[in-house]
């Protein structure tokens, strides 16, 4: 497979052959290999190492080798150029199961079963061709309920580690915080959209709804949810936030902060998450 010629002058048009190649086989780019890769006979699923900026074979059982970018379609060795096709239809395979999705395996090959970690590379459109899809990885679930009591000027953290099997690019969190002081429960609930740690929101005012007190319910579209019952240095603040992201998931934190004179009790419940990678 040839690359699109790079010596076009400004204003020149692509030929019909070149246009068809883009449509049918996608872009082919030259990168540097970080190891010996033999992709000329059988294309190899690859990723780019963030440190060396070189190309290596993907591995479904190695969390550092999951970011599939395309297929190596030429042979190369460490430090030398290698051709990578990053979209379109890749030829050169044998015995593919037409219509089936293909995934990176734990032995650096591809197959129709999911490896230790799900890394979709494409769909077989013939026995010898794969259409690159780079499928999104999505996982959802419930978060654990948390509760703590703290005294004056005291703090407590409840961390929960969520393992999804990939590094999320977007995390959506939902839940409710409760702050209890003077025999009253104050609530706040909302949705968190984000993929990084953010500042805790502050809250003022409240709306009485029967026997339940709410603070800014369902209005937090940021990086944390919080409820606070503090008056004259008496009470507690409770917040829930995204605390950290890893190669295999993320950590959420419920934090409780007692006021300067007395504290109170707090809780987090009704929690759910969606992670997309």
pLDDT of residue 167: 78
Quote the pLDDT of residue 229.
60
Residue 238 pLDDT? 86
Encode pLDDT of 167-183 as tens digits: 787 888 888 888 887 77
Greatest alpha-carbon pair distance for the chain in Å reads 78
**pLDDT for the residue numbered 206:** 34
This prediction has a pTM of: 0.55
The side-by-side arrangement of strands in the sheet containing 249-258 is 155-163, 249-258, 234-245, 224-231
- Per-residue confidence at 111, pLDDT binned at 50, 70, 90? very high
pLDDT in tens, 27-44: 788 899 999 999 999 999
Nearest to 270 by CA among 150, 139, 146, 159: 146
pLDDT surpassing 50 at residue 147: yes
């Amino acid at each position: 497979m040839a690359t699109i010629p790079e010596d076009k002058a400004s204003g020149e048009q692509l030929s019909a052959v070149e246009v068809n190649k883009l449509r049918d086989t996608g872009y082919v780019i030259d990168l540097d290999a970080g190891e010996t890769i033999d992709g000329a006979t059988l294309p190899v699923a690859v990723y780019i190492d963030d440190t060396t900026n070189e190309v290596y074979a993907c591995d479904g059982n190695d969390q550092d080798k999951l970011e599939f970018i395309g297929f190596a379609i030429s042979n190369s060795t460490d430090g030398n150029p290698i051709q990578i096709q990053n979209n379109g239809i890749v030829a050169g395979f044998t015995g593919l199961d037409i219509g089936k999705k293909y995934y990176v395996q734990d032995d650096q090959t591809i197959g129709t079963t999911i490896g230790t970690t799900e890394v979709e590379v494409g769909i077989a459109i013939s026995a010898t061709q794969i259409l690159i899809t780079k499928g999104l990885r999505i996982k959802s679930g419930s978060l654990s309920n948390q509760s703590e009591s703290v005294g004056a000027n005291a703090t407590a953290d409840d961390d929960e580690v969520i393992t999804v099997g990939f590094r999320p690019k977007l995390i959506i969190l939902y839940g409710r915080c409760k702050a209890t002081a003077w025999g009253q429960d104050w609530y706040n609930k909302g949705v968190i959209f984000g993929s990084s740690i953010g500042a805790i929101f502050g809250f003022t005012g409240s709306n009485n709804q029967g026997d339940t007190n709410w603070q800014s319910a369902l209005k937090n579209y940021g990086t944390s949810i919080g409820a606070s019952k503090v008056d004259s240095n008496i009470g507690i603040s409770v917040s829930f936030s995204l605390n950290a992201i890893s190669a295999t998931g993320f950590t959420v934190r419920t934090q409780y902060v007692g006021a300067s004179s007395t504290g109170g009790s707090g809780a987090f419940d009704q929690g759910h998450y969606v992670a997309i990678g």
